[in-house]
Amino acid sequence: MSRLEAAIAAIDAANGADPTLEDGRPAALLYGERMSSELDRLFPGAPDPLRIAARGQHVERWMLPRSAYPEGRAGYLAWRRDQGRRHAQRVGGIMADAGYGPEEIARTEAMLRKEGIKRDPEVQALEDVICFVFLRWYFPGFAADRPAEQLLGIVGKTARKMSPEARTRVLEEFDLPAPFAALFRDGNGAETA
């Protein structure tokens, strides 16, 4: 078994303990598989650190529930920051056990903490993959019980996180209603007049 295979297997084993099920499978395990699938599709030939970051993006996420933080934006941002740190530390340990060296581990950890988003091509690639997974697999259910105005804000934030190339692909691959498509065409997540 290669180092990459060993790291992926360890992440999958950890995520296989997720008590939340989706389609009869542990939700975190399914999410990791979807991340790898989108990464392979969008960035074939990605290096190991990016492949591992994609698979470990939500490793053991359920262990630090959102409910452990205050309501509101400040609580949400603190939870996301702490999750990024936890994911980086956990995946770093998995990589060390699989035989990766300090430089590759540090690179993956930086991606999981989103250090250099919009400046670092691999961190941005990870963010693009995250956004594609959200749009393809989670947005329809997420949108079902939310008002249109709130959805426009969420889609706008998603568009702002993405690279120009990824926004173009979204427009090519998804049949979006006009107000949502405008957010991806504009490039800054705000509708044009």
By C-alpha distance, which of 164, 138, 189, 104 is closest to 30? Answer: 138
pLDDT in tens, 28-38: 999 999 999 99
Q: Residue 188 — very low, low, confident or very high, per pLDDT cuts 50/70/90?
A: low
Q: What does the domain layout of the chain look like in residue ranges? A: 1-113, 120-193
pLDDT over 90, % of the chain: 83
The one-character DSSP state at 55 is H
Query: Beta partners for 25?
Result: 22
Report the 10 Å Cβ neighbour count for 108: 29
Give the pLDDT of residue 155.
92
pLDDT in tens, 122-134: 999 999 999 999 9
What phi and psi values does residue 25 have, to the nearest 5 degrees? -125, 155
Q: With a cut of 90, say whether residue 192 has pLDDT above it.
A: no
